[in-house]
């Protein structure tokens, strides 16, 4: 609910109370962001902020903004902290509170930026300046989050240069640590945590896109906050372009948080009568630790960001041909992969790069949409029909925003590509970006992509983008608006086509893309152990339903790690399960293991994709839980085993104390060949580690990993459930876990009949 009481404003949902007021001199004073308060809780707020701050020495008795916690600030008003707005110096930009409006819904953004949707209330604060510029601060209150955005209107009779305009600004009291997520290609989501000091921390992208160098989402937590306790706030922005956030503390102990479009190269000319609308900044608050914050972010993304059609809708188990085939395939190879994928239980076959133009490597063909008839003589529809006869839906890869200079499109329209201003062509992955701020470029993309989708009865699109560019300069924001226009025109009329966004892996893991694309390819790094860490870090800000996660080959192409198939599957469950390697290489044992994995995932898919998510205590490794109703599923992932291991336990959470649950581990099949010559200790015959017997055993013989089953109360389980012992060199026992390095197990805790 949003309450307005004279000059005070309170936004309150079941988690967050957000209060501020307009002072007599027209400043917007921040009063509270956090635990529940009421609009009349003046006493409580006096305890929080005290009185007398910033009331002396101002001109004509005004406050000195420098010492006030504010909701907006302007240059030239005695506030030396970061300003959320920079426009032409000669225009006075001292905004004062004018009036407010309340809506019982979201207020549409008119410039084409995507925005959060669903049940909400909105408060509009209108600020006026003597120069006849006006500012409109929109606060939208959802069940879980508050979003903020800013609109500046030019009511003057001259052009205004907007050099910087933030979506939100807020000053809060207290000491905080900031966590940002940084990285590179195949090394996404590396957390960085640091105290917020007086020098501040900037989280910014300047590659033209949201980028994996610095994911737009970040967290503020009070020192000592844990997974379950303490104040933790999550922030993000619904935008896919250059983003900027800065968090900085002052000498007085106020922390200023600004979020918006990066001002680097930003320059927007606002003509008389025009307005500029910023993207929506998102904030959540939790008094119950990182877990509480993630829970709210997950709910917000699932309920208010991803397209309505896909809310709570289960996602298909897919097979993608990229890592198995790269550019080297033809229809018969794809059909035989399809047969195997269908036999395993996959529901969707995705044809990745290489199906069009002269695209036999990444050097040519991008920008063209004519199907390569040498590879696919029956075209897209020919392949689709064959896959459909096997019960598989058809998915297709596109990279519509870029062009290879060696393509028909570039030869016909070199002027459509974005070139650096100095005229020197700089390629990234042999590509240039197309200028999506041009209507003719957008029309070309919309026309061709929709034709292919419709012709091929495509039910899933992987929308890739492998070229970042600073050459976008001041037109970077126009490019992003162009991208949203293209996505809206293609997928708006086709809501049932599942869109998975990708940008060299996780380079565009952002809420702007998620408004169109309910899932995102998390990383080109498909090594299961690395992926576990990437998915785990993503879970802080994004729900599992958004995280594309595939089982790939072992040894792995990027790390050479030989991760057991059971672990490769188990990790992908904590995301959206898919398979991405040459299925022709599968042994009979591996085929059985994958069938088991897919059947298991399908049975619990709703819990994995949309259940409540928790990061659990795990003394050695990573542990994650999903739960819904009377089912909780705990995954435990180890890296390096150590000799003489002690008792190991899992620590589920959120169970009913008195209910008796049945616990069982997912059945896993082990590759007997991995034990080499050790098999001689359990077999009656002598074996050679590299001999035919071991090799045949590896392909044909299934060894079951130790299974665990028990009944126990929720109270007992939550105090730590002991696991079967691990193998420790003291002889073979079928009751032991026998997996070695990079092992994992999944435990189902349920009151359902198994
Ligand atoms: C990018 C993507 C990959 C794959 C290739 C195809 O790298 O991230 O998943 O689609 O392009 O060229």
What was the pLDDT predicted at 199?
94
**Beta strand 547-551 pairing with 519-521:** parallel
pLDDT at 594: 97
At residue 375, the pLDDT reads 98
Q: Which residues of 359-393 are buried (b: 16+ CB within 10 A; e: fewer)?
A: beebbbbbbbbebbeebbeebbbbbbebbbeeebb
Per-residue pLDDT tens for 96-135? 999 999 999 999 999 999 999 999 999 999 999 988 999 9
pLDDT of amino acid 687: 82
Tell me what pLDDT residue 97 has: 96
Q: Please choose from 504, 519, 548 the residue to mutate so as to test ligand 1's pocket, defined by most ligand atoms within 8 A of CB.
A: 504
| Confidence at residue 559, expressed as pLDDT on a 0 to 100 scale | 95
| Ligand 1 pocket mutation pick from 188, 320, 322 by most atoms within 8 angstroms of CB | 322
Residues designated catalytic: 464, 524
CA of 205 to the centre of ligand 1 (A): 22
Q: What is the DSSP letter of 106?
A: P
- Distance from the alpha carbon of residue 504 to the mean position of ligand 1, in angstroms: 6
Token pair belonging to 274:
């025009």
Question: Which residues in the chain come in under a pLDDT of 70?
Answer: 43-44, 46-62, 754
For residue 48, the tally of other CB atoms under 10 A from its CB is 16
Taking the centre of ligand 1 as the mean of its atom positions, its distance from the CA of residue 384, in whole angstroms, is 21
Residue 734 to residues 570, 589, 643, 737, 739: CA-CA distances in angstroms? 21, 18, 18, 8, 12
d(CA 420, CA 428): 12
Token readout for 627 is 């739960």
Ligand 1 atom 2: the closest Cα is on which residue? 504
Listed in order, the ranges of the chain carrying CATH 2.70.98.60 are 2-304
**Helix, strand, coil % in the chain, rounded to nearest 5:** 25, 30, 45
Fold of 2-304: Beta-galactosidase; Chain A, domain 5 (2.70.98)
What local confidence, expressed as pLDDT, does residue 58 receive? 54
Exposure string (b/e) for 181-197, b if CB count within 10 Å is 16 or more? bbbebbbbbeeeeeebe
Ligand 1 environment, Cβ below 6 A? 322, 352-353, 362, 397, 464, 466, 502, 504-505, 521, 524
- Tell me the pLDDT tens digit for each residue of 668-709: 988 888 888 888 888 788 888 888 888 888 887 778 888 899
How many other C-beta atoms can be found within 10 angstroms of the C-beta atom of residue 173?
A: 16
For residue 395, give the H/E element and its range: strand 393-398
CA of 691 to the centre of ligand 1 (A): 38
- For ligand 1, mutation pick of 211, 397, 399, 521 (most atoms within 8 Å of CB): 397
The predicted structure's pLDDT at residue 554: 95
Is the pTM for the entire model greater than 0.95?
A: yes
DSSP three-state, residue 379: helix
């Amino acid at each position: 609910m949003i309450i307005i009481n004279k000059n005070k404003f309170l936004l309150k949902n079941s988690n967050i109370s957000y209060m501020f007021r307009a002072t007599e001199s027209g400043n917007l004073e921040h009063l509270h962001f956090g635990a529940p308060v009421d609009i009349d809780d003046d006493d409580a707020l006096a305890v929080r902020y005290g009185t007398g701050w910033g009331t002396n020495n101002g001109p004509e008795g005004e406050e000195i903004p420098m010492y006030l916690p504010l909701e907006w600030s302007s240059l030239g008003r005695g506030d030396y902290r970061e300003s959320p707005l920079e426009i032409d110096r000669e225009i006075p930009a001292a905004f004062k509170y004018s009036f407010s409006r309340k809506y019982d819904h979201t207020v549409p953004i008119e410039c084409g930026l995507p925005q959060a949707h669903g049940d909400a209330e909105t408060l509009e604060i209108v600020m006026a300046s003597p120069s006849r510029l006006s500012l409109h601060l929109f606060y939208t209150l959802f069940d879980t989050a508050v979003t903020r955005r800013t609109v500046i209107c030019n009511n003057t009779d001259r052009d205004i240069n907007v050099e910087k305009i933030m979506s939100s600004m807020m000053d809060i009291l207290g000491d905080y640590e900031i966590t940002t997520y940084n990285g590179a290609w195949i090394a996404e989501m590396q957390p960085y945590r640091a105290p917020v000091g007086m020098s501040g921390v900037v989280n910014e992208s300047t590659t033209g896109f949201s980028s994996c160098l610095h994911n737009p989402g970040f967290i503020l937590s009070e020192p000592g906050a844990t997974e379950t306790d303490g104040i933790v706030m999550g922030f993000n922005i619904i935008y896919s372009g250059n983003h900027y956030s800065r968090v900085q503390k002052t000498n007085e102990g106020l922390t200023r948080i600004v979020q918006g479009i990066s001002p680097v190269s930003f320059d927007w000319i606002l003509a008389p009568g025009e307005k500029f609308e910023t993207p929506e900044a998102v904030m959540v608050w939790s008094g119950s630790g990182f877990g509480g914050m993630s829970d709210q972010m997950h709910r917000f993304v699932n309920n208010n960001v991803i397209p309505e059609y896909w809310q709570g809708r289960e996602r298909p188990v897919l097979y993608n041909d990229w890592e198995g085939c790269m550019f080297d395939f033809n229809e018969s190879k794809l059909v035989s992969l399809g047969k195997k994928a269908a036999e395993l239980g996959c529901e969707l076959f995705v044809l990745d790069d290489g199906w069009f133009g002269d695209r036999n490597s990444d050097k040519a063909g991008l920008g063209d949409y004519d199907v390569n008839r040498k590879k696919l003589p029956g075209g897209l529809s020919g392949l689709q029909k064959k896959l459909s006869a096997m019960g598989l839906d058809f998915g297709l890869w596109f990279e519509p925003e870029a062009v290879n200079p060696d393509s028909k499109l570039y030869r016909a329209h070199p002027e459509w590509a974005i070139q650096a201003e100095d005229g020197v062509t700089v390629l990234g992955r042999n590509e240039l970006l197309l200028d999506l701020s041009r209507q003719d470029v957008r029309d070309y993309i919309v026309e061709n992509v929709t034709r292919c989708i419709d012709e091929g009865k495509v039910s899933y699109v992987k929308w890739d983008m492998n070229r970042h560019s600073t050459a976008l300069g001041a037109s970077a924001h126009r490019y992003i608006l162009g991208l949203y226009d293209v996505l809206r025109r293609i997928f708006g009329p086709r809501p049932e086509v599942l869109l998975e966004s990708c940008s060299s892996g996780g380079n565009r893991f952002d809420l702007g893309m998620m408004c169109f694309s309910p899932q995102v390819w998390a990383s080109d790094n498909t090594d299961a152990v690395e992926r576990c860490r990437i998915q785990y870090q993503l879970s802080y800000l994004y729900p599992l339903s958004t995280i594309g996660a595939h089982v790939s080959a072992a040894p792995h192409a990027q790390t050479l790690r030989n991760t057991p198939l059971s672990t490769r599957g188990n990790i992908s469950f904590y995301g959206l399960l898919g398979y991405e390697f040459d299925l022709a290489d599968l042994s009979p044992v591996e085929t059985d293991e994958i069938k088991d994995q897919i059947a298991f995932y399908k049975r619990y898919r709703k819990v994995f994709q949309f259940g409540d998510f928790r990061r659990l205590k795990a003394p050695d490794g990573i542990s994650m839980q999903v739960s819904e109703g009377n089912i909780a599923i705990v995954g435990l992932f180890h890296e390096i085993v150590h000799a003489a291991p002690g008792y190991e336990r899992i620590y589920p959470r959120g169970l009913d104390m008195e209910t008796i649950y049945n616990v069982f581990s997912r059945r896993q099949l082990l590759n007997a060949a991995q034990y080499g010559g050790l098999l001689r200790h359990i077999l009656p015959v002598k074996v050679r580690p590299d001999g035919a017997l071991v090799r045949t055993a590896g392909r044909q013989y299934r060894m079951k990993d130790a299974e665990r089953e028990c009944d126990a109360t929720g109270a007992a389980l939550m105090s730590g459930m002991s696991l079967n012992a691990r193998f420790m060199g003291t002889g073979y026992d079928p009751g032991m876990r026998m997996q070695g390095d990079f092992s994992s197990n999944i435990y189902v805790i349920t009151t359902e009949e198994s």
